[in-house]
Amino acid sequence: MSLALVAAVAGLVAVGTYLATSRSLSRIVLGFSLLGHAAVLGLLAAGGRAGSPPLADRARADDLADPLPQALALTAIVISFGLTLFLLALAARQHALTGDDLVEDDVEDRRVARGGRPAPDPQARGQRRTPGGRPWTP
Amino acid sequence: MALIVVGPAAAAAAALGFRAVAVVRDATVIGALTAVTALSVALAVHVEREGTVVLEVGGWAPQLGIVLVADLFAVLVLAVATTTILVVEVFALGQRRGPWAGDATLVGPVLLLLTTGVSLALLTGDLFTLFVSFELILVASYVLLTHGGGAGQIRAGMTYVVINLAASTLFLLGIAWVYAATGTVDLALLSARIPELDDGVRAAIGAWFLVVFGTKAAVFPLFSWLPDSYPTAPTTITAVFAGLLTKIGVATMIRFHTMTGMDDLGPLLLAVAGATMVVGVLGALAQDDMKRILSFHIVSQIGYMVMGLGLFTVAGVAGAVLFLLHQIPIKTVLFLVGGLVERESGTSALDRVGGLGARRPMLAVLFALPALSLAGLPPLSGFVAKLALVDAGVASRSSLIVAVALGGSLLTLLSMVKIWLGVFWGPTAGGEGTATLAAPAGSARLMYGAAWVAVVGTLAVAAFAGPLWELSERAAEELLDPGRYRAEVLR
């Protein structure tokens, strides 16, 4: 297993995690793309040393690359592609609703934490609307 | 058996094709779900009599291709899960109107996709197929959670999607790791090769997958996404999520960690279980909305199943299996009742509902039976399942976790009383929304009917506790003896 590949996985995971913990959804999307790449590279690294393409009639059996991780990686790429699109759709919807793409606080949870008292500043971010999307009333 | 997995997916495509034609769409969805439920029950009966059924998909040997393995544990959970989905779909048909119904043209077909994912997750004998089935379940649940497109749903949906994506990425990295260590992703082969690994590598794999499945199952400290996202979805959808999604996470955890012999993770699992029970139930006590209280209880009850697994004895795992079988219908029906309360009074906030017990006595009974069962009062099913777990805990001399479990039960009862006082007792608070939501009588009958069927189902769990306990015990013996699984699959 090549050390460079492992280092690349580690680097991608580090940057991806940093981006995914951000509040802005577009950064989160980027973060998860990187994390997805890291997982795919990890699968590739798990396949062991490189070899000739695993085609039955073109190569000898003893120097084939392991085909299974490649199949797994292909499946994983397709899935992460679809989910990235879904996240982008969510970000677009959020943008249409609120004008930004930030992940907001759980309104109900904040209210319970305050012991049922109304929020100090109704205009504060994340407290403008109730979960049902109705305008916030103190 | 392949039909149970492929059938719902094909029917979902057909139903989506006929989205606009209500009659064809609903008939397809109900027909497919009924067929799948019947097949699952038939498969369960067959497996119970004849033993494990193995299907090599496409005729490839287990080392080369994908196998579907129907052992007793898988078919028991599968039969209960498909029945539950069918009941919820019937309820959803009745709930056609009103703000909590969701988009009827989408819910049915996507529920079918969810069914495919659930059955694949339970039947697969391959770690990577398990990943794919999890993705299938999750994609279906993302759509169900966010298809309303309201601000609250998008906000909660984001948290839910991001958390689950993180868990999926970890799952994928874990698979890469397992493949590098053992050279296979087949569960039967893994059950032989993982115990042979270095202690350090083995413990790391066990802990890694504990995090992956623990996030799906919402155990402490990975649960915080659940009470945030579940209550925002339409009620029927929350009912499916509550009854199935976290339970599939637990079921996979039970399968993976028993089959790969992770006994030494037992104390860690017990600690996690105890913390999950306590934190979940305390969270429930702090809330004042029926759906949010119930959401925190999902978390708390997960702790009991993990406790059974953490004991790693036949009695413990059997208790966990029985608890799982009892939880799926009970959580579903509690949320369905929550939906009915919302329909009758326009909200599920405790301080705005009240006096429903006088106006709708049947609804009160519908809530009381599963709620008392959840708290573990005899002679209901929750008592049977908890007795099994406590008994197993005492037998393995783990008195601390038993004490925590019993304390958790008491607090559960307390918060159920809170719902009872807020919703069914006391003066009728306002009347707002009551009249505006009046739906046709026929659909109400369908909703109440579906809820009653589910309640009777949970009563049946109590009535047939003896035979069910025997089945759970056999399933647990199978799980804790991976040699038998190997012998069946690698024949």
- How far apart CA B19 and CA B109 sit, in angstroms, is 9
User: Which two three-digit tokens encode residue B299?
Assistant: 């978390």
Would you write out chain B's pLDDT as a tens digit for each of its 491 residues?
A: 777 888 888 888 888 877 777 788 888 888 899 999 999 999 999 998 888 888 888 888 777 788 899 989 999 999 999 999 999 888 888 776 555 556 667 888 888 999 999 999 999 988 999 999 999 999 999 988 888 777 788 888 888 888 999 999 999 999 999 998 998 888 888 998 998 888 889 989 999 999 999 998 888 888 888 888 888 888 888 888 888 889 999 999 999 999 888 888 889 999 999 999 999 999 888 888 888 888 898 999 999 999 999 999 999 999 999 999 989 989 998 988 888 888 777 777 777 777 777 777 888 888 888 888 888 887 788 888 899 999 999 998 888 899 999 998 889 888 888 888 888 877 765 544 444 444 444 567 788 888 888 888 888 888 888 899 999 999 999 999 888 888 888 87
Mutating which of B64, B146, B162, B289 best tests the A interface, going by the most A Cβ atoms within 10 A? B162
A121, part of any domain: no
- Chain B residue at shortest CA distance from A47: B180
Cβ-Cβ contacts under 8 Å, A76 against chain B = 131, 172
Q: What is the pLDDT at residue A129?
A: 45
Q: What is the pLDDT at residue B76?
A: 93
- How far apart CA A29 and CA A14 sit, in angstroms, is 15
Domain count, chain A: 1
Cβ-Cβ contacts under 8 Å, A79 against chain B = 132, 135, 168
Q: What is the pLDDT at residue B79?
A: 93
- Please give the distance of CA B39 from its chain centroid, rounded to a whole number: 20
Q: Which residues 6+ apart lie within 8 Å of B400 measured at CB?
A: B274
Cβ-Cβ contacts under 8 Å, A90 against chain B = 146, 154, 157-158, 161
Q: Closest by alpha carbon to B14, among B40, B38, B32, B39?
A: B32
Q: Which residues 6+ apart lie within 8 Å of A109 measured at CB?
A: B227, B228
Is the bond preceding residue B109 a cis peptide, omega within 30 degrees?
Answer: no
A24, part of any domain: yes
- How far apart CA B321 and CA B485 sit, in angstroms, is 17
Q: Which of B142, B155, B166 sits opposite A104 (nearest CB)?
A: B155
| CA–CA min distance B394, chain A (Å) | 37
Question: Whose structure tokens read 């930030």?
Answer: A102
- How far apart CA B166 and CA B452 sit, in angstroms, is 38
- How far apart CA B435 and CA A108 sit, in angstroms, is 26
A16, part of any domain: yes
Please say whether the beta carbons of B170 and B210 come within 8 A: no
User: Domain residue spans in chain B?
Assistant: 2-489
| CA–CA min distance A108, chain B (Å) | 8
Q: What is the pLDDT at residue B435?
A: 42
Q: Flag whether residue B98 sits within 8 Å of chain A, measured between CB atoms.
A: no
Q: Flag whether residue B162 sits within 8 Å of chain A, measured between CB atoms.
A: yes
Question: Based on the number of CB atoms within 10 Å of its own CB, is A64 exposed (0-12), middle (13-18) or buried (19 or more)?
Answer: middle
| CA–CA min distance B238, chain A (Å) | 15
Q: Flag whether residue B161 sits within 8 Å of chain A, measured between CB atoms.
A: yes
Q: What is the pLDDT at residue B170?
A: 93
A56, part of any domain: no
Query: What is the DSSP-derived secondary structure letter of residue A118?
Result: P
User: Which two three-digit tokens encode residue B441?
Assistant: 């009588």
Q: What is the pLDDT at residue B420?
A: 86
A131, part of any domain: no
Q: What is the pLDDT at residue A106?
A: 67
Q: What is the pLDDT at residue A119?
A: 58
Residues of chain A with pLDDT under 70: 1, 104, 106-108, 115-138
DSSP string across B381-414: HHHHHHHHHHHHHHHTT-HHHHHHHHHHHHHHHH
- How far apart CA B230 and CA B247 sit, in angstroms, is 14
A38, part of any domain: yes
* A93/B154 Cβ within 8 A: yes
Q: Flag whether residue B216 sits within 8 Å of chain A, measured between CB atoms.
A: no
Mutating which of B173, B205, B229 best tests the A interface, going by the most A Cβ atoms within 10 A? B173
- Please give the distance of CA B266 from its chain centroid, rounded to a whole number: 22
Q: Which residues 6+ apart lie within 8 Å of A134 measured at CB?
A: none
CB atoms within 10 A of CB A84: 16
For the domain that residue A47 is a member of, what is the CATH number? 1.10.287
Helix, coil or strand: residue A51: coil
Domain that holds residue A40: 3-51+65-113
Question: Based on the number of CB atoms within 10 Å of its own CB, is B236 exposed (0-12), middle (13-18) or buried (19 or more)?
Answer: buried
Q: Flag whether residue B286 sits within 8 Å of chain A, measured between CB atoms.
A: yes
Q: Which of B132, B158, B232 sits opposite A90 (nearest CB)?
A: B158
- How far apart CA B318 and CA B468 sit, in angstroms, is 10
Please say whether the beta carbons of A54 and A70 come within 8 A: yes
Cβ-Cβ contacts under 8 Å, A130 against chain B = 152
**β B67-70/B53-56 pair status:** antiparallel
Alpha carbon separation from B264 to A133, B152, B275, B309, B316 (Å, rounded): 48, 42, 19, 12, 15
A59, part of any domain: no
Q: Which of A90, A116, A131 sits opposite B161 (nearest CB)?
A: A90
Is the bond preceding residue B427 a cis peptide, omega within 30 degrees?
Answer: no
Alpha carbon separation from B104 to B26, B83, B142 (Å, rounded): 9, 20, 16
* A79/B132 Cβ within 8 A: yes
